[in-house]
A and B are shown apart, each in its own frame.
Chain A
Amino acid sequence: KAGVTQTPRYLIKTRGQQVTLSCSPISGHRSVSWYQQTPGQGLQFLFEYFSETQRNKGNFPGRFSGRQFSNSRSEMNVSTLELGDSALYLCASTGGTGVGEQYFGPGTRLTVT
């Protein structure tokens, strides 16, 4: 089975711009979670989507949003980028309906200048 894929792997944006990141989960997995990883804050939960519905949401401003498509692929969008949004964004997919093992993608490294 193919693993979790994330595109693009690297991205450089300017303050004020917006960005869209994509995540394709493992085939058959319906849950996709997003995390932001920074040296100062560590891994922080952004949100989880399950069957096209947001099931959980972390403590991030409304500039961070996401969605999930019927094929379980997910996108996250960050609008009005700030320097502090520079981070590694990780997506993870899980099979089943409850809590399960999260399989992580390699991440998208976002740099905001």
Chain B
Amino acid sequence: AQSVTQLGSHVSVSEGALVLLRCNYSSSVPPYLFWYVQYPNQGLQLLLKYTTGATLVKGINGFEAEFKKSETSFHLTKPSAHMSDAAEYFCAVSDGRTGNQFYFGTGTSLTVIP
């Protein structure tokens, strides 16, 4: 079975500071990993994904994530936070065998302090 744990339901950072959102996954097979962002009253937008290959994945809006198999982690980072980054962030995992059944974490709400 697949599962995702996002540590910290709320994270606050100052504008210009490093953003670090944590995601740990559980998967019995090599996982497919995703980060999505959700703005109020909107659907989810894909930030980045890991399937195979390079473990450091770059996404949109300056975000990146590193797949660490030994730590079963896929943490999301951005060197410098912008006010527009304030949103809800979701980590998701799929085992790749059951079609597009994604398991989402409970989300992390990011606040950016001016």
Is chain B found bound to chain A in the same assembly? yes
A residues neighboring B (CB under 8 Å): 4, 31, 33, 35, 42-45, 48, 50, 55-56, 58, 90, 92, 94, 98-107
A104-B100 contact in complex given A42-B105, A42-B107, A99-B94, C-beta closer than 8 Å: no
Interface size of B by CB at 8 A reads 25
Which chain A residues lie closer than 8 Å to B45 at the CB level? 104
Contacts of B92 in A (CB 8 A): 43
CB pair B46 A101 closer than 8 Å: yes
* A residues less than 8 Å from B34 (CB atoms): 101-102
Instruction: Pick 8 A–B contacts, CB within 8 A, sort by A.
Output: A42-B105, A43-B90, A90-B44, A92-B100, A99-B99, A101-B46, A101-B49, A104-B36
A42 touches B106 (CB 8 A): yes
Is B70 an interface position by the 8 A CB rule? no
Return A68 CB to nearest CB of chain B, in Å: 13
Would you call B104 an interface residue if the criterion is a C-beta within 8 Å of the partner chain's C-beta atoms? yes
Interface mask (B38-69 → A, CB under 8 Å = 1, otherwise 0): 00011111100101000000000000000000
